[in-house]
Structures are given as C-alpha cells and as structure tokens.
Amino acid sequence: MAAHGEADQLGTTSDSDQGELNETEAPGKSEDHILFASDSFDDLTYDGLADGDQQSVQKGTIHAIVRQTSHDSRSNTPNNVDHDSSEVSAGEESVEETAEVNTQGQSVSNATEKEDVVPQLSVSQLSLDEEDVNTPEWKNQKKHVFILSESGKPVYSRHGKEDKLVTIMGVMQALVSFVQDAKDSIRSIVAGHHKFVFLVRDHLILVGVTRGMDSTQQMLLQLMYVYNQVISVLTHSALSKIFKQRRNYDLRRLLTGAEKFFDNLLNLMDTEPGLLLTAVRCLPLDSAVRDIIAQSIVQNAKVKDLVFALIIAKNQLVTLVRMKKYYLHPMDLHLVINLVNASESFKEAESWTPICLPKFDASGFLQAHVSYLDNDCEVCLLLLSVDRDSFFTLSEAKDKIKNRLVRYNALQAINSSIRRHSYSTQQCGIPDLRHFLYKARSTAQYTSPELEAPYGSQEEQERLFGMYHYLHHRIHTSGRPLKILFHVGQYETLLGWVTQGFELYAVFGPLITKTGAIHAVNKLLRWIKREEDRLFILNSVTF
C-alpha cells in the first residue's frame, strides 16, 4: 500500500533496541478509574456500572440511582411521614411525552399524531437554502454521512438537504434489505476512490462515504458516534417506542434544531484525535491546582442526586468528580463536549437541559446544569443530576464553586493554561520529533503538542491527520493487529507503538532511522512520565 517510495517495517526489534517500558511504568497510568478505560474500537457493551456490580440494570443505570437515592432518603426520614408508593423511573417517558425528549429544550411534535407534517419551504427558500446534489461540489465532498430510517425515510445528511436525497437513501435502504434477505449484513462497498460503510442499528441505518484515509473500522466508529448523538437527543427507549408505533415516522420532526450538533460532531471528528483514540485530552495544569478545583466541587456540590460534575475548557477536560460506582465513558464525554462546543446559547445564561449519555444509560436522561465561570466563556461547568427539579440547588452550588475557585486563584490558572496553548514539541528535547499522540489506556486520556511547522496550514494538518488514520488503522487491523509499525514516507517517518499500558503515534523527519526513532520514543516516554501529573488526571475524586 506504500506509494512514492514509502515502505513499512513491521515487527519485532530486540529488547535492547526497543527499550520497552513495563506496563507499570507507562506514563499516565493510574489504578484509579477516572473514565471508563476503552480501546479504540471498543464495542458498545458498557452499561455505566462498575465491574462486578450486581445491581439490576433492566430499567437502566439512572433508574438504579433514583431508586438508591430514594431509598437513602426514606431511611433518613421519620416513620410517621407518608410516602408515595409509586416509583418514578427517570427517562421512561411514554411516546406521548416526547415533547420533553429534546436536549436543546425545544418544543417538538407529538409522535402519536396521525399526520407526518413536514415543514414546507417556499420556492425562494429552496433555491437559496438547498444545495443541488447533482453539482460537482456536492459529489466531490471528501466525506458524506447519511442517516435514514429502516423504512428508507431521510433523517440527516451532512451535505445537502434530506429532501433532495430521497432517491439516494432509498437505494441505500434497498441495499441493506437485499443483503438482509440473504441472511447477511452489509458492511462496506468500495467503488472507485469512494468507500461506502454501513452501520445498521435499531430502527436506523447510518451510511458513511469517504474518499480519504479512513478505514472501514474508523468509519464505523464515526458512525457509532453519530448514532449515539441521535440517542443523546431522544433516548433509545423513545426511539424504539416511536418506530414500534409508526414504522414510517419522519424522525426529522423530533430532531429539529439538533442538526448543528451532528454537524459539529462530524467537524470534531476531522480535527480532534480524541474521537479516533476514544480518549479525552486534559488541559495541562499543575496537579495542586487540579486538586483545588476538584475539592471545590466536592465541598460545594453536596447534592444527593448529583452523578457527575465536570469542568471543560476549550474541548479539554479540567476535572471530573463522580458518584461512587459510576463512570463516564469517553464517548459520552465527547458528546458532552460537543453539546457545549456547538451551543452558543449556553454563553448567555445558566442553562438546564436534559441529555442522554448512551454508554451510561441509553434509556433515560440526566439533567445538565450548564454555566460558564469566566467572562470570556472559556471555562464551562456541567453538573449532571438525575433530579429534574434541582436547577436552583445546582445554581447555588455553582456560585459557591466559582467563588472558591476565584479565592484560590484556580480560575486564573485555568485561563492562563488556555492562553499558553498546551506545549511545543521543542519542550520534549527531541530534535527530529515533529508531532505525536500519546494515549494512556488505563485512564482513557491522551496528550499531544501544538501543531507547528511544517503542519501550520490547514492543508498540512489534514494531511497529518490522514497519516495518523493510516498508522492507527495498520496498528489496529483486526486481521493482523501490530505492536510496532515503522513507516518510511516521502516527507516524514511514522512510528506506531501499542502496549498494554499505552498507544503512541509519533511523526519524525524523513531521514531518521528505525533505531533513532526507537531511542527518540523512549526519550519521549520519559519526558511524558516526568510531566504526567500536569498532563493527566491521575486521581479519581468522588462525591
């Protein structure tokens, strides 16, 4: 597959040359669970509970939390107090209540109405707003993503309007059905320079079309993120109830206004390596400052139904505090980051919005109190609760948290770190190193330096990201997974190295030798190890 004189060297170097670290020495490793540890192509089996937890999850993790907190409240209440004997299961809305199933707090139509009323556009609006799918500009887009119902109704398209794509999506649905009739499932089709990848889930079909470096597995991962975004807006329970009642239901009615979240998520996939690695980048901070931030949350957010509290700055995780026994999956955290990143309205005032986190519990909503802590709207605090009526309680907690962060100069430290723009490869002290991605597998966190010359332009950054996709694909190919891959290219040399403790993808100048790259990587690992308290969250803080 190499071109222009490129070559891959696989395999095994001697221990003396390789100098592999023991797993216990892997930078960023922690015995504490901060996030749910996930591999790059981890299948969607995580249910939010700790390993070995025997609680019933038949009604979902949120239901288990509501039940537990309700039990704790009753245990602390005098016996002469009457209780409502009925148990309310969070997130188990009937289809008649789907007007509440929108993460943006918008009013949506009732799913049980007799008519599928689709908003009509005037001729002038059609000519102005809709992209002609027959134009070369539409056909030559580097990546397309389509969502359609199992009956073939359009739901979403990354480029162009769904109304113009009825025929195309009908063909896609016919292909899926034809293969299913043969008791098989379609995975991908290669036609010329384009690759068509299909992901079939309950009631929905997702199709990705790419002419880039994305492998089939990587496209499936991206489609899974898009599917999870749908669930984040509606919940899996509501989606199932809707299509069980009406197989031909037009889902666009319930997703009105959510298009910006799909668009933003797909843009993040093209620029944010964390979605490729299924890992989260942490804002570089002194560990003492990070401890102050976490303790500020613990001391001032003592709310019984609060499940997660986190601070995000510039798409980077600053801190995460969680309820005991429950963990956030990196894919869910990426949906939270996408929600914040795509919502300008959150900058206007404190907000209260339901959000479903599919890997945590696909059947119900958490209620998110979203607020910014600084005037520049760079530092966002999210308090995720199972209590629908705790907005004002969490608002008071937010004020207390902010006051303590200001008093201890922690908010200033966060803003200073944002202005420093991470770190440069020059700080690593390795002359031939141009860029790298490092993922600590036990904590599902990654770190990387700023993009500098020769990757300063958008074109070069896209090329670099394409090379990372290639390297990641070759390392994780299911038929022949690799531990080490040394790739000699025309303009740079790549090294991929995966162990039980970490994944490392490094880019060097074109003249470096394999031995030189191995020694440089070992030096890089030692540098990351020295900086790990600043680059990673190593301590799990709980309520």
**Interval 177-224: pLDDT, tens:** 999 888 898 999 999 889 999 999 989 999 999 988 899 999 999 999
More confident residue, 35 or 135: 35
More confident residue, 86 or 494: 494
The confidence band for 71, taking pLDDT boundaries of 50, 70 and 90, is: low
User: What is the pLDDT at residue 9?
Assistant: 60
User: What is the pLDDT at residue 7?
Assistant: 60
Q: State the pairing for strand pair 7-10/445-447.
A: unpaired
Kindly give, in sequence order, each residue whose CB lies less than 8 Å from that of residue 66, ignoring residues fewer than 6 positions away.
Answer: 87, 88, 89, 90, 305, 386
**What phi and psi values does residue 196 have, to the nearest 5 degrees?**
-105, 120
**What phi and psi values does residue 355 have, to the nearest 5 degrees?**
-145, 130
Cis peptide before 481 (omega within 30 of 0): no
User: What is the pLDDT at residue 40?
Assistant: 63
Pull the structure tokens for residue 71.
């039990």
Say if residue 462's pLDDT is above 50.
Answer: yes
The confidence band for 164, taking pLDDT boundaries of 50, 70 and 90, is: confident
Q: What is the rounded average pLDDT of the residues 304-327?
A: 94
Least confident of 43-47, 297-301, 377-381: 43-47
Report the alpha-carbon angle 212-218-219, nearest 5: 70
Instruction: Compute how many other C-beta atoms are within 10 angstroms of the C-beta atom of residue 475.
Output: 20
User: What is the pLDDT at residue 206?
Assistant: 96
User: What is the pLDDT at residue 423?
Assistant: 92
Q: DSSP string covering 156-185, please?
A: EESSS-GGGGHHHHHHHHHHHHHHHHTT--
Taken in order 99, 102, 106, 111, the sign of the CA dihedral is negative
CA distance linking residue 67 with residue 361, whole number of Å: 15
User: What is the pLDDT at residue 139?
Assistant: 83
Q: What is the rounded average pLDDT of the residues 535-541?
A: 93
Long-range contacts at 115-123 (CB < 8 A, ≥ 24 apart): 116/248, 116/249, 116/250, 116/253, 117/253, 118/250, 118/252, 118/253
Say if residue 457's pLDDT is above 50.
Answer: yes
The confidence band for 6, taking pLDDT boundaries of 50, 70 and 90, is: low
Percent above pLDDT 90 for the chain: 65
Least confident of 150-164, 333-347, 353-367, 441-455: 150-164
For residue 433, the surrounding DSSP H or E stretch is strand 433-440
Instruction: Compute how many other C-beta atoms are within 10 angstroms of the C-beta atom of residue 401.
Output: 26
CA distance linking residue 429 with residue 440, whole number of Å: 21
User: What is the pLDDT at residue 110?
Assistant: 32
For the entire predicted model, the pTM comes to 0.85
Query: In terms of Cα–Cα distance, which of 539, 540, 298 is closest to 401?
Result: 298
User: What is the pLDDT at residue 132?
Assistant: 62
User: What is the pLDDT at residue 74?
Assistant: 55
